[in-house]
Amino acid sequence: MAIICLEGASAVGKTTTSNELARMKNTYIVPEVNLLFERPKFETNTWYLERQVDRWKIAQEKQSKYDLVILDGDIFQPLSYNWCFDFKIYEQSLDIIYEFYREEIIKKKLMFPDKYFYLYTSINNLTNRKENDRTRKRRNFESHLDIIEPHQRYYEALYKFEPQFVQLIDAKNIEDNARVIKDNLPSSTPYRDSEELLDSIKNWLMKNKP
């Protein structure tokens, strides 16, 4: 069955949309790293990257038991997120991230999901949703607002690489988000060369500034 990924800015509705889809279909949701794993006191430079591989392993294991598996947040998120900050906020260069992912793909421990659904809305809507959501603290929310434009541009670039791979959704409400996603799920697992796609992403990141 399909493994899809929901992405978008903080407070856009990824988790609530995932939960709504779970009410509509037999669905397993793989939470983001910070909700799924406890950060160690002394974190290695690749700890976060390794946990993304663990998330993919969970998704694959659940694939046989569920009609749909949702990655709540991109397993390749370190590529887009670090690029948005020009690779200056963490000690992870583009080369470090790329080589890590490339090795895991070659070892067949990692692949790109079957499809991305990118949710977007206005900054005002995001701020209002954050203020009205008492269930999560959303650390660094303000800094995330600063990267909305380049973050969306990254996924628009993925759409240009392969249009059927990414769908952008104007996130007006949770019910509509879930309905659009349900109606546009991939009917079969598409063949995709993850190593080739990773190379295309790296080349695009090198040529484009956030």
Question: Taking 80 as the threshold, does the pLDDT of residue 32 lie above it?
Answer: yes
Give dist(CA 106, CA 154) in Å, integer: 24
Give the model's pLDDT for residue 7: 97
Q: What is the CATH number of the domain that holds 201?
A: 3.40.50.300
Give the model's pLDDT for residue 136: 65
Helix (H, G, I), strand (E, B) or coil at 166: strand
Q: Looking at residues 117-136, what average pLDDT do you find?
A: 79
Pair of tokens at residue 150: 């380049």
Give dist(CA 54, CA 59) in Å, integer: 9
- Banded model confidence at residue 138, pLDDT cuts 50, 70, 90: low
Structural domain range at position 88? 2-207
Q: How high is the mean pLDDT of the chain?
A: 92
Question: Taking 90 as the threshold, does the pLDDT of residue 91 lie above it?
Answer: no
Give the model's pLDDT for residue 29: 98
Neighbours of 30 (CB within 10 A): 24
Judge whether 120 and 177 are in contact, CB under 8 Å: no
Give dist(CA 166, CA 27) in Å, integer: 20
Give dist(CA 182, CA 169) in Å, integer: 12
Give dist(CA 9, CA 62) in Å, integer: 26
Q: What share of the chain has pLDDT > 90, as a percent?
A: 78
Helix (H, G, I), strand (E, B) or coil at 204: helix
Judge whether 198 and 101 are in contact, CB under 8 Å: yes
Each residue of 67-84: pLDDT tens digit? 999 999 999 999 999 999
Judge whether 117 and 6 are in contact, CB under 8 Å: yes
Each residue of 142-157: pLDDT tens digit? 767 788 999 999 999 9
Give the model's pLDDT for residue 204: 98
Give the model's pLDDT for residue 36: 96
160 vs 131 pLDDT, higher one: 160
Question: Taking 70 as the threshold, does the pLDDT of residue 137 lie above it?
Answer: no
Q: How many domains does the chain have?
A: 1
Q: Looking at residues 22-48, what average pLDDT do you find?
A: 94
What's the longest Cα–Cα distance across the chain? 44
Q: Looking at residues 35-58, what average pLDDT do you find?
A: 94
Give the model's pLDDT for residue 59: 98
Give the model's pLDDT for residue 144: 73
Question: Taking 70 as the threshold, does the pLDDT of residue 141 lie above it?
Answer: no
Identify the H or E element spanning 170: strand 166-170
Q: Smallest Cα–Cα separation from 210: which of 123, 121, 149?
A: 149
